[in-house]
Structure 1
Amino acid sequence: MAHVTQVVPAAQGGFPMGDMRRFGRVAVIHDWLVAYAGSEKVLEQILQMWPNADLFSVVDFFPEPLRGALGGKRASTSFIQHLPRAKSSFRAYLPLMPLAVEQFDLSGYDLVISSSHAVAKGVLTGPNQVHVSYVHSPIRYAWDLQHQYLAEAGIQRGLRSWLARTMLHYMRIWDQRTAHGVDAFVSNSEFVARRIRKAYGCDASVVYPPVDVERFGLGAEHDDYYLVASRMVPYKRIPLLVEAFASMPERRLVVIGDGPDFARAKALATPNITLLGYQPDGVLVEHMQRARAFVFAAEEDFGISVVEAQACGTPVIAFGRGGARESVVDSQDPERATGLFFMEQSVTSIVAALERFEEHAPFRPEVCRRNAMRFSGERFRREFMGVVESTVDSIRGADELPLINSRRRLA
């Protein structure tokens, strides 16, 4: 069985890391640009590394006040950008996205970097081009989470269900086939690397996503409340956490976030639970710094908020599956421990975890923060550059010029 490779620092020898001429013309492609979330923070770092790269995306409705995160760039977009209601309902055009991404003509680029959680990795490249794909996850709703998504959408039976299942079947065929066009896969966690192995039959290097840990100062004092901060979408399981704390009236819970599950969470809340809804960044950081612990019930590919809480010196109580197992240290050693896990998404398991947490020796804020510093933006840039450099060198040799640029100069 093929192994999953943990990435090493930037390649030694050959061109210096600062000599960007070795890469030739660079194109960066991202699935869609509509919000500034975890995958866009990875894209931001990539564009800082290759500021002269051209940017492509299926649609670009990125918030204008935040466009500085993209270096002010506007993406070249697909025909989906101009379809009816594309801004509000672009996901409805998912069946057209494989076709859309294949229409980008990237033949004039030496290096193609895709940032993909859906279709970006399916862009067409030729044998003289190097394609490195940073995969946040294979298409979740087409692979192992298909049945969960169909259940959450309420289309488990009937004609709509069969139409959805047929569409997802063909998405899987396309997604697996286009994996052959990628020269090097990079995943955001060991958990996602295993998904890549199952979906595409390929190994992936692991480069953890960047977290702006410097934005989160160490909390000086901690209150007695537990904190949940998340978008309220079904897989985050916020109502489950509210239900668990409703059974523990002696323990306080503060919930920050908004979304489709807000009304359900509010209906389950008891007087010991405070739902604040959406809050600005400063309020979120302050609550993270002062919380007794951060509680996290999702099976997440990585889980940036889990690292942000630790950067504040706040320990984490997390569901023990997914990326959280790689960022939280459940240990009896006070010099290593940053939190603990519960192994079932159930009220009983969460309550038991809270009891173990309160019996545990005090977690040290400085240990939590030291663990979070492993996920800085500087570390991401260094490790991702190392993967790209080694991939380029292995394909065309450390001393060779970019093939397409060389051909252009000779023409």
Structure 2
Amino acid sequence: MRVALVHDYLTQRGGAERVFELLCKRYPEADIFTSLYDSERTIDLSDRLVQTTVLQKIPGAAKHFRLLAPLYFPVFRTLGLHDYDLIISSSSSFAKAVRKRPDARHICFCHNVTRFLWDTQTYLREYTAYRRFYPIIDRAFDLLRRMDLKYAQEPDLYIANSSVVADRIQTTYKKPVVVINYPIDSNQFVFSEQKEEFYLASTRLISYKRIDVVVEAFNWLGLPLLITGDGPERQRLESQAMGNIQFLGHVSDEERTQLMAKTQAVVVAALEDYGLVPVEANASGTPVIAYGAGGVLDTQIAEQTGVLFNRQTPEALQAALLRATKINWNYQKIRDHALTHFSEDAFFRKVDQFFREVYS
């Protein structure tokens, strides 16, 4: 069986790219396709041949890939994949549009519906550098939404990373979907039952992550908080924070691993489609204090692996923090839950079972 692996663009390293990296390792003989490829900025594909599109020839395309949005659907349609029996696309936007033979199968690991088209205002708030293009963007997006709905019909089946993403796929694209939660690399995280007297937030400092809520809650409680990560919100947040809050900026993987293992709890105030940080915390034997919506509803057990709060407000977070101090956490049980349900082995057991059912 000939297998093709297709990703939107390989110009960065994020959660979607990490899942694609796992798929590439799982299918070492598969051919790899993407619209744009920058080997220095994305996942390590070793000596694998990565086949790209005509967009690769545009100077600066990999750096300014978002500006090419109107071109992606057409170039993915031109990829010649008719020789493949199975196409596995990894997509948050465009790769799902590839063509296949009538008797072939196309399964899409869909990280979300095309967010910039269906949640445009939230998306553009994160990319203010493109503000001068907004009038053009608005007209282009209307056309792209129609194209997105059309080409979303190409995959035979969708795999979503969380229940909330599955609901969006069904509502927007009207396609069958199953949920298989994405994994973490459990080998990257260490376990410790010896917790130190600090809390941790580990995230990009952008508006929708709601670190402003976290800062205000910890200002009021006076508990020690460490924040790792950087972003455009950092200066504003630092100006609001009191002395009990430290901004560490970017830290090494090794330092982040140690912080995850030793903190009292990891705090997450964002509404995440899925969210790997809570699972990473649990793999370290650490409970999570999180806004109780979105992906955490798939990954957390209330009062066992974490405490969930139901409003994105400092007051709700404060109440959750105080509630967490009264729980006698079983750190080993927290870690066992993460390794049982969200390891790479657990992920591919579910994927393999799904594929067997599809081909039975």
TM-score (norm 1): 0.83
Q: Deviation at 1:43?
A: 1.2
Q: Deviation at 1:63?
A: 2.5
8 Å contact 1:41–1:210 — kept in the other structure? no
Q: C-alpha distance in 1, partners of 2:130/2:256?
A: 37
Q: Deviation at 1:73?
A: 1.8
| 1:300 equivalent in alignment to 2:272 | yes
8 Å contact 2:182–2:342 — kept in the other structure? yes
| 1:221 equivalent in alignment to 2:188 | no
Match for residue 159 of structure 2? 186
Summarize deviations over 1:230-255 as a string: whole Å, max 9, x none: 12222222233223222322x01000
8 Å contact 1:293–1:316 — kept in the other structure? yes
Q: C-alpha distance in 2, partners of 1:156/1:89?
A: 11
8 Å contact 2:215–2:241 — kept in the other structure? yes
Q: Which amino acid aligns with 1:246?
A: N
Q: What SS does the aligned partner of 2:214 have?
A: helix
Match of 1:356 among 323, 329, 332: 323
Q: Which amino acid aligns with 1:371?
A: H
Match for residue 331 of structure 2? 365
Q: Deviation at 1:37?
A: 2.2
8 Å contact 2:12–2:41 — kept in the other structure? no
Q: Deviation at 1:167?
A: 2.1
Q: Which has the larger radius of gyration?
A: 1
TM-score (norm 2): 0.94
Q: 1:212 to 1:174 in 2, by over 3 A?
A: same
Q: Percent identity?
A: 32
Match of 1:255 among 198, 211, 227: 227
Match for residue 243 of structure 1? 216
Q: C-alpha distance in 1, partners of 2:359/2:89?
A: 15
Q: C-alpha distance in 2, partners of 1:175/1:64?
A: 27
What is the CA RMSD across the aligned residues, in angstroms?
Answer: 2.1
Q: C-alpha distance in 2, partners of 1:341/1:121?
A: 34
Match of 1:347 among 307, 310, 314: 314
Match of 2:293 among 315, 321, 331: 321
| 1:383 equivalent in alignment to 2:350 | yes
Structure 1: gaps of 5 or more residues = 1-23, 332-336, 394-411
Q: Deviation at 1:169?
A: 2.2
Summarize deviations over 1:290-312 as a string: whole Å, max 9, x none: 10000011111211111010111
Q: C-alpha distance in 1, partners of 2:279/2:357?
A: 28
Match of 2:85 among 93, 110, 129: 110
Q: Deviation at 1:92?
A: 1.3
Q: What SS does the aligned partner of 1:247 have?
A: helix
Count how many residue pairs are aligned between Structure 1 and Structure 2. 359
Q: Deviation at 1:272?
A: 0.3
Matched ranges for 1:23-172 at <5 A: 24-63=1-40, 67=44, 70-143=45-118, 145-153=119-127, 160-172=133-145
Query: Larger relative contact order (C-alpha < 8 A, sep ≥ 6)?
Result: 1
Q: What SS does the aligned partner of 2:22 have?
A: helix
Q: C-alpha distance in 1, partners of 2:210/2:319?
A: 17
8 Å contact 1:27–1:106 — kept in the other structure? yes
Q: Deviation at 1:282?
A: 0.5
Q: Which amino acid aligns with 1:120?
A: A
Q: C-alpha distance in 2, partners of 1:291/1:151?
A: 32
Q: What SS does the aligned partner of 2:62 have?
A: helix
8 Å contact 2:11–2:41 — kept in the other structure? no
Summarize deviations over 1:251-301 as a string: whole Å, max 9, x none: 010001112222222222211001110000000000011100000111112
Q: C-alpha distance in 2, partners of 1:152/1:28?
A: 29
Q: Deviation at 1:151?
A: 4.2
Q: C-alpha distance in 2, partners of 1:281/1:385?
A: 30
Match of 2:305 among 332, 335, 338: 338
8 Å contact 2:268–2:291 — kept in the other structure? yes
Q: Deviation at 1:166?
A: 2.6
Structure 2: gaps of 5 or more residues = none
8 Å contact 1:239–1:264 — kept in the other structure? no
Match of 1:209 among 159, 179, 182: 182
Q: C-alpha distance in 1, partners of 2:37/2:199?
A: 37
Q: C-alpha distance in 2, partners of 1:214/1:324?
A: 22
Q: Deviation at 1:361?
A: 1.9
Summarize deviations over 1:296-345 as a string: whole Å, max 9, x none: 111112111110101111100001111011111114xxxxx111111122
Q: Deviation at 1:32?
A: 1.1
Q: C-alpha distance in 2, partners of 1:73/1:239?
A: 43
8 Å contact 2:166–2:179 — kept in the other structure? yes
8 Å contact 1:184–1:391 — kept in the other structure? no
Q: What SS does the aligned partner of 1:357 have?
A: helix
Q: Deviation at 1:135?
A: 0.5
Q: Which amino acid aligns with 1:115?
A: S
Q: C-alpha distance in 1, partners of 2:352/2:40?
A: 28
Q: 1:150 to 1:64 in 2, by over 3 A?
A: closer
Summarize deviations over 1:177-235 as a string: whole Å, max 9, x none: 11221111111111111011111112211111121123212113111111001122222
Q: C-alpha distance in 2, partners of 1:391/1:176?
A: 24
Q: What SS does the aligned partner of 1:228 have?
A: strand
